[in-house]
Amino acid sequence: MAFLERSPAVRIGIISDTHGSLDPRAYAALADCDHIIHAGDIGGPSVLRELETLAPVTAVLGNNDFDEYGSAVGHFAHPVLEGVRFLVGHKPGDVRVSFAGSAALAPGDPLPDVIIHGHTHVPELKTGPDARPAGLYLCPGAVYRPRSDFGRTIAKMDVEDGRILHTWIENLNGKVLLEA
């Protein structure tokens, strides 16, 4: 029986809008991730503690979160994972970067390779001119009360040596719905 080895790429799980309840299927879907990003509306520290049993977690506050997570969770996060620069915020308008700048970036900050938001509960995956100034613009959808025909969703991304190798959004049954 042949055994397929996973590439040495770092797998990032991206989740949003759990609203205090981590669906067991979302937990299982994120089990193969090396790092997890939560794009807000966490709903309580227990959700982050549960995710941290799988992998290190980067999280941001959503409009339904209170400052109960300590200084590690703010309105924006700027992780650099395997050389890929991320900008994470909850609302899409908060992470938009224009010629006038962005509330999420300080003057002189490097532009992100990936922009991630939550809030809409609708999965979204954009590349090219639609993602500018980043190479990829992503909303993982929602684990709680989705607002699309896709149902409950998460996203995953494989990165290596400063490159995004593959990005996809899947439902909690593991069906890939969008990919880049």
The CATH code of the domain that includes 14 is: 3.60.21.10
Confidence category of residue 5, pLDDT binned at 50, 70, 90 = low
d(CA 87, CA 66): 21
pTM, two decimals, is 0.93
Query: Does residue 43 fall inside a structural domain?
Result: yes
Total Cβ atoms within 10 A of residue 38: 30
pLDDT at residue number 34 = 98
Query: Does residue 1 fall inside a structural domain?
Result: no
Confidence category of residue 96, pLDDT binned at 50, 70, 90 = confident
Query: Does residue 2 fall inside a structural domain?
Result: no
Query: Does residue 4 fall inside a structural domain?
Result: no
Report whether pLDDT(6) > 80.
Answer: no
Q: Which two tokens stand for residue 115?
A: 């922009």
Confidence category of residue 97, pLDDT binned at 50, 70, 90 = confident
Query: Does residue 114 fall inside a structural domain?
Result: yes
Query: Does residue 3 fall inside a structural domain?
Result: no
Name the β-bridge partners of 159: 10, 164
Mean pLDDT of the chain: 93
Q: How far is CA 163 from CA 5, 50, 154, in A?
A: 20, 29, 21
In this structure, are residues 124 and 147 in contact, taking their beta carbons and an 8 Å threshold?
no
Number of domains in the chain: 1
pLDDT, one tens digit per residue, over 138-167 is 999 999 998 988 999 999 999 999 999 999
Range of the domain at 78: 10-179
